Structure formats: C-alpha cells, structure tokens
Amino acid sequence: MTKTALITGITGQDGYYLSAFLLEKGYRVVGLVQPLAHDDTQFLAPLTDQLDLRVCDLCDGGTLTRVLADVRPDEIYNLGAQSHVGHSFDVPEMTMNVNALGTLRLLEAIRALKMIEHVRFYQASTSEIFGDTLPPQSETSHFNPRSPYAIAKLSAHFMVKNYRKAYGLHASNGILFNHESPKRGEGFVTQKVARGVAAIDAGQQSIISLGNLNAERDWGHARDYVEGMWAMLQQDKADDYVLATGQSQSVRRLCEEMFKYIGVSLVWQGQGENERGIDANTGEVRIDVDPQFFRPLEVENLLGDARKARDVLGWHPKISFEDMVCEMVEEAKSCIA
C-alpha cells in the first residue's frame, strides 16, 4: 500500500530533501505551502510534478484541519517554521505563533479528527533548545533556550511529548543540530559565506561582513538528516533523538574552509569588532565584523552527541563537513557562472 506523507514547510531546505527521499521510497507526498508564497515553490521545481501541494498557513487552524481531513496522511513531518534565530528577536510574536502554536494547531487537528491511532508525527525540534548548556549536548542535557526561536521550539517540543504521553500519539522530536546544503536559505551563515565567496571569485563583491566569528556549530548535511527524520517514524515506539555529527567548527573556520575552494588562504588580524580575515597572498580584506549581525543573546557552542540515534535508529551522518562546504561553494559558483 502506498503511504502518504504530509510535509509542512515543504518549500524549505529540509522540505526539499525530505520530499526527494520519500518520493524515492514510493510515498505519495503532500506539501503545505503558505498562501502568499507561490514563488517559493520554484525551489521545488525538479519535484513539483510529483508533489501534491496544498495552500495552508500554520497559523490557520481551520484550514489545517480541513487539509488533514482530506489528505488522511500516514506520516506528518512538521518542518514549517520561522527558522531564523536572529530574526526571531525582531519578530518574537510571529515566531511563537508559527513555531509553537502552529505545532499545537496540527496536534489538535489530529485529535479532533480522531487520527491519533492512525498517524505518526515528526516534530522539527532543534539543538537551539540547549542554549548555553555545555557541550556535548544529548537528549538528557538541560534545555536552556536563549532566543524567542528556541523558546517557541521548546514549547512545541514539550507539547509533542505531552500528546505522546497523554493520548498515545506516535510523535517524535528530532533534536537536530545545524544541517546545511546548497538549498540553505541565504540568511544563514553557511549560505551567506558560500555565496559571498562565489561573488568574490567572480569579481562581483570584495568583502563579506559577518557577526560572531567565535560561535561554534555542529554542521552536517541536510541530505543525511532527513533520513534520520524518516527513521524515527519507522520505530514501533515514538521517542526523541539528537541528530548531529559530533564535531563542531567555528564560523572563522567555516570561512577558511570555504575560501580554500577559490584558492584563498585567510589570515586573521585584530580582535572583536576589529577582527579581519585577510587574503594571505594579496593582503586584501575579505572578512570583516559588522555588529549589526550580533544577536542580543548568543548560543556559543553546539556540539551534539547522537549515540542514541546511532544505536536505536542505525543513523549516522555520511557527508563530511568538508564535502558539504565544497558542494555549497561549487553550487554558489555555478549559479553565478
């Protein structure tokens, strides 16, 4: 029997890779697209003729319920979110509405439609919920959120646990550490640097301005992480899992690695707001620090311990940081060419 998966946030990075993965497995894939976001579906262009796209906002409980009643999915992947941490400080109410209440609306629709026993639910939780808890962070680490984004996601995380315990819903939180790809939104640091490097290589830009160069992230590739999402829903029992590579890099090191692909070796001079990344050969400044990219509160160091996912799900990341970086820079260069 063909299984049906419903994906919220299908126009995002993970929505793209998860759709491709599920289509390959023979699923019927239905995706929710925001009412005013039709242009965004171009992103899905290679897949759109195989997808069933429905217009629905996570802030609209009535439409969510009607779509669910019509689609009757076997699996729901709730990826839809205002996912930019820095931006969440500017739009905290909207972030709470989409990320926390949006999840609750979906869970309530499942309950109202008496689908609890028939559907499996994946929640896109996040390593941001650990905040300044010291690494490595695992499922048992303290949650210490430091942004409206993380607070909203933690609320959704607990709501999912609550529906699992109270009503027996097969609902799992994937506590995912950063994962990137050429499909990454341009507001995130990996894509910003990849596109900046490509533009510098093409002579269209001379410098990339960044915020906190010291922050460390556990960066993997989105293609690996969507496999973990699916694996969680194939278990007899729902549970929460960390997905991570177990290695972290600073933003500074990310820059060094990306510039290598255009033959530039960076050296660093100065400190704090005066720090500069300089082309060791030419002396040209390629990176500077602009305080407008600092956040009111920062998460300094995320490094995940994904042993539970490895032992229970058999999941482990296959794509290295270096290969992910190479793919992003090459794709950014080919978009300019």
Active site residues: 126, 128, 149
**Residues numbered 177-196 forming contacts with ligand NAP, rule: CB under 6 A:** 178-179, 185
Q: Pick from 62, 168, 187, 291: which binds ligand G4F (CB under 6 A)?
A: 187
At CA 124, angle to CA 142 and CA 313, rounded to 5?
80
**Residues numbered 108-137 forming contacts with ligand G4F, rule: CB under 6 A:** 126-128
Report yes or no: 333 and 193 within 8 Å, Cβ to Cβ. no
Q: How far apart are CB 256 and ligand G4F at their closest, in Å?
A: 14
**Residues numbered 238-257 forming contacts with ligand NAP, rule: CB under 6 A:** none
H helices of the chain, where?
13-24, 61-71, 85-88, 92-95, 102-112, 148-167, 189-201, 222-233, 251-260, 307-308, 321-336
Q: How many CA atoms lie within 13 A of 33 on its CB side?
A: 20
How many residues bind to ligand G4F according to rule CB under 6 A? 22
Cis peptide before 136 (omega within 30 of 0): yes
Q: How far apart are CB 286 and ligand G4F at their closest, in Å?
A: 14
In the block, residue with structure tokens 């590739």 = 221
Beta partners for residue 52, in sequence order = 30
Q: Does 174 bind ligand G4F (CB under 6 A)?
A: no
Residue 242: closest CA among 253, 228, 255:
228
Q: Mask: binding to ligand G4F, 205-234, rule CB under 6 A, as x and -? A: -----xxx--x-x-----------------
Nearer to ligand G4F, 86 or 228 (CB): 86
Using CB under 6 A as the criterion, which residues of the chain lie in contact with ligand NAP when the complex forms? 8-9, 11-15, 32, 34, 37, 40, 57-59, 79-83, 98, 124, 126, 176, 178-179, 185
